[in-house]
């Protein structure tokens, strides 16, 4: 691959756009850059990331039945749970740690093997192995991400809303 050629082509494309389109280009490139930096950070910490494509719905269902099992269907409908599962915490329907207390609780957990899912990517769950060195701040640029242990005993959620979360909930 000739990466210099790609840079030249990209620069020509950008140069051909009117100024008012550059903000779209910026945010598209920033999203790619943030995803790259996130993945690089995980790999630098020795985390092995696997993409689970065949049992993802079962894992998502287990998240629901583990962490929202005492929330009625009526309440879920009222708080738009299907839009954002984390609404059970932001609407105070499930007790949890919030903000800095949530970050501290997550950092204190053993995290060798984890599941990770995103609210808006419905057909993929990731498995993180050798994840003991990850901390809450590693997810500061992620949106609507759900991290939970493979035994479904705790979950950490970082939302897209700066005034909501992060949240940490542990089954007692």
Terminal-to-terminal C-alpha distance of the chain: 53
Stated pTM of the model: 0.89
Q: What is the dihedral of CA 145, 154, 71, 102, to 10 degrees?
A: -70
**β-strand pairing of 154-158 with 113-118:** unpaired
Residues in the chain: 172
Which tokens sit at 95?
A: 């007790």
pLDDT tens figures, 28-55: 999 999 999 999 999 999 999 999 987 7
pLDDT tens figures, 88-139: 999 999 999 999 999 999 999 999 999 999 998 878 899 999 999 999 999 9
Q: Which residues pair with 167 in a beta bridge?
A: 98, 157
């Amino acid at each position: 691959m000739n990466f210099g050629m790609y840079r030249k082509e990209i620069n020509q494309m950008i140069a051909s756009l009117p100024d008012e389109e550059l903000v779209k280009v910026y945010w598209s490139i920033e999203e790619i850059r943030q995803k790259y930096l996130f993945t690089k950070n995980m790999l630098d910490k020795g985390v092995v990331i696997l993409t689970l494509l065949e049992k993802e719905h079962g894992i998502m269902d287990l998240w629901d039945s583990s962490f929202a099992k005492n929330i009625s269907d009526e309440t879920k409908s009222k708080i738009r749970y299907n839009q954002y599962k984390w609404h059970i915490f932001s609407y105070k329907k499930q007790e949890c740690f919030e903000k800095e207390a949530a970050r501290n609780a997550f950092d204190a957990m053993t995290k060798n093997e984890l599941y990770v899912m995103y609210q808006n990517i419905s057909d993929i769950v990731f498995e993180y192995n050798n994840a003991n060195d990850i901390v809450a701040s590693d997810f500061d640029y992620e949106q609507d991400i759900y991290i939970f242990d493979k035994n479904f005993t705790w979950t950490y959620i970082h939302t897209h809303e700066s005034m909501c979360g992060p949240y940490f909930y542990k089954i007692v």
